[in-house]
Amino acid sequence: MKLTIFGATGGTGCQIVRQAAHAGHEVTAVVRDATRLPPDLPDLIAIVEANSLDDTAVKAAVAGRDAVISAIGTRDLKHPTRVCADTAGFLTTAIRSGSHCEPRLVLASNSAMAPGPGDDPLTRFLVKPVVLAPLLRHMIEDMRRAEQIVRVSGVPWTIIRAGRLTDRQSKGGYRRGVDRNVLGGFQITRADFATALLDAATDPACTGHVISVGN
């Protein structure tokens, strides 16, 4: 498949790029600074050095692709941000403006925003709304806006929500819930989250669904 990855220099993005390249996909990584890519990756992929909000560059990067994965996120939990929402807006606009078959958009998101079915009672009624919502309020609001933009965009989409991301070694698999949360899905390794995003990008049956994942 022809895949374009945004956020490719982040912890999850690097994992997606590496896994996709080793699986034989044709990968384009959109990055602001190509020197931040691990040294083993540039020889395996095509690189577009541009800001994810660069309209011309984004349109070129998604044209003719089978799927686009956005692993854009923020590390700043203290201040309001629109990085995820703005990127989602640019990506959906770019995809709609293309003259070829629209690629599917896979959006990395966070399960802290969504207490609901699949959670145990403590997580659903205390941990997520009382503990995590205030702590992660800026990130959650940004991701919520991004999800809303994607859902109403008219492009084929899949949203993958994860709990806390860790840099531990892959567990070799993950659990998932389709349009519901995963019981005990408090965390997942970045490697396994990357696998989940790549699985969604390569599986048309995931289109139009919110999939929660955890180890």
Give the DSSP letter of residue 169: P
**What is the β-pairing status of strands 46-49 and 104-110?**
unpaired
The dihedral built from the CA positions of residue 132, 213, 185 and 181, taken in this order, carries a sign that is positive
Low-confidence ranges of the chain (pLDDT < 50): none
Q: CA dihedral defined by 150, 85, 135, 159, rounded to 10 degrees?
A: 20
Alpha helices in 108-189 (DSSP H): 121-122, 133-135, 137-151
pLDDT, one tens digit per residue, over 47-104 is 998 876 777 888 888 989 999 999 998 877 788 899 999 999 999 999 988 766 689 9
pTM for the structure as a whole: 0.93
Q: In angstroms, rounded to a whole number, what is the distance separating the alpha carbons of residues 214 and 194?
A: 12
